[in-house]
Amino acid sequence: MMIGRHHGGKLLAGASLAALSRRTLATASVVAARGFAGEAAQGAKYLYSGPARGGAAASAWLRAPAIGMRRESTLALGEKEARPQQQQQQQQQTAEEEKRAAAGGKAIASYWGVEPSKVTRGDGTEWRWTCFRPTETYKADLSIDLKKHHAPLTFLDKLAFWTVKSMRYPTDIFFQRRYGCRAMMLETVAAVPGMVGGLLLHCKSLRRFEHSGGWIKALLEEAENERMHLMTFMEVSQPRWYERALVFAVQGVFFNAYFLGYLISPKFAHRVVGYLEEEAIHSYTEFLKELDNGSIENVPAPAIAIDYWQLPEGSTLRDVVLVVRADEAHHRDVNHFASDIHYQGRELKEAHAPLGYH
Ligand SMILES: [Fe+2]
Ligand SMILES: [Fe+2]
């Protein structure tokens, strides 16, 4: 009985394989009949712009028919008249890529018609950053009140306050007075809540078929801004292997804890971030003290910071810490505000989100 079943299974598998082969061969012959074997070979050429190696070349030839099939099926959707123009664009693109490759840069080839965008500054010179664009740069509002504090009165607020305070002690012990390293490490955590909150509000908006009041974007803006803090501090401090390992572990724990916390009580989650930002303001104030008393060298500001915060040429690390601290104060306001909305029994979507609040 078991042998019979086994044999039957083999027969079934064999029949399926045979059907699959017929299908594959049939598709391949249609493509060949349409005469796009030449284009397929050209597609393989686009895949590799570097010098040909034995393995790479063989792999390209193996992939070539698949490229031809895909390309033809895309063009078959009533766009055949656009082909000469597309071919011209591709030729231009390939020529540019070859020029770039000849200049020593590693070109990224594409036959999808998606050209790498060229970003320029207002004066027409090339924009050197890929992680943000000139339209995302701004001048930080340094006039913001840094001393504002939300007094924890309710049980939930006290829990949020002491959760953050309890996290500060191990951080103080671990980093001591190495504020550059401390800032870099803490930014890896600070950039998580905005993304998690934005993601959950996004899913909620989809589930409930409702608007978000701009809060998804506001929280994602916060995450992006925090990530830019990290990109900046990476320029002045390099993480050691055990610090990288710590970030890995902390991110795993914090992401999931915040995700769950936000699901259970967004009121609590935003309050926690509000207090985290208050702590961040304190840390950056200490950082400034160390810069002022000469314990930390006031090195020139990283180029990425000068462009992102539109700082004048000749700015220093102190100027960078000032604008980052102002950003943290804005995050504090946004998150305490979000928590207050929930405290009033309302939903975030009922209040216009503070978009572009820097
Ligand atoms: Fe930050
Ligand atoms: Fe922040």
**DSSP assignments along 96-161, one per residue:** HHHHHHHTT------SSS-PPPP-B-TTSPBP--SSS-GGG-----TTS-S-------SHHHHHHH
* Ligand (nearest to CA of 186): 1
pLDDT top residue among 301 and 59: 301
Greater confidence (199 vs 78) lies with 199
The DSSP output letter for 312 is P
Determine the distance separating the centroid of ligand 1 and the alpha carbon of 348, expressed in angstroms.
Answer: 23
pTM value? 0.71
**145-148 CB contacts, 8 Å cutoff, 24+ apart:** 145/329, 146/281, 146/285, 146/325, 146/326, 146/329, 148/329, 148/332, 148/333
pLDDT for 262-274, tens place per residue?
A: 999 999 999 999 9
Q: For the chain, report the end-to-end CA distance as a whole number of angstroms.
A: 74
Whether the Cβ atoms of residue 317 and residue 348 lie closer than 8 Å to each other: no
Ligand 2: centre distance to CA 149 (Å): 15
Do 129 and 307 form a contact (C-beta atoms < 8 A)? yes
Q: Distance from the CA of 312 to the center of ligand 2, in angstroms?
A: 23
Of 147 and 101, more confident:
147
Mark the residues whose beta carbon lies below 5 A from ion ligand 2. Answer: 190, 277, 328, 331
Q: Scanning the structure block, which residue is given the tokens 């699959």? A: 20
Phi, psi of 272 (to 5 degrees): -55, -45
Query: Regarding predicted confidence, which is higher, 60 or 122?
Result: 122
- Higher pLDDT pick, 336 / 12: 336
pLDDT mean across residues, the chain: 80
Average pLDDT over residues 155-174: 92
- Tabulate helix, strand, coil % of the chain (nearest 5): 70, 0, 30
List the structure tokens of 34: 């349409």
Q: Where are the domains of the chain?
A: 5-69, 155-350
- Check residue 181 and give its pLDDT: 86
CATH T-level fold of 155-350: Ferritin (1.20.1260)
Ligand index nearest the alpha carbon of residue 320: 1
Which residue has tokens 């998804």?
216
Tell me how far the alpha carbon of residue 297 lies from the centroid of ligand 2, in angstroms.
24
The Å distance, Cα 141 to ligand 2 centre, comes to 14
Ligand 1 centroid to 75 CA: how many Å? 47
Q: Distance (Å, rounded) from C-alpha 168 to C-alpha 278?
A: 11
CB atoms under 10 Å from CB of 273, counted, come to: 28
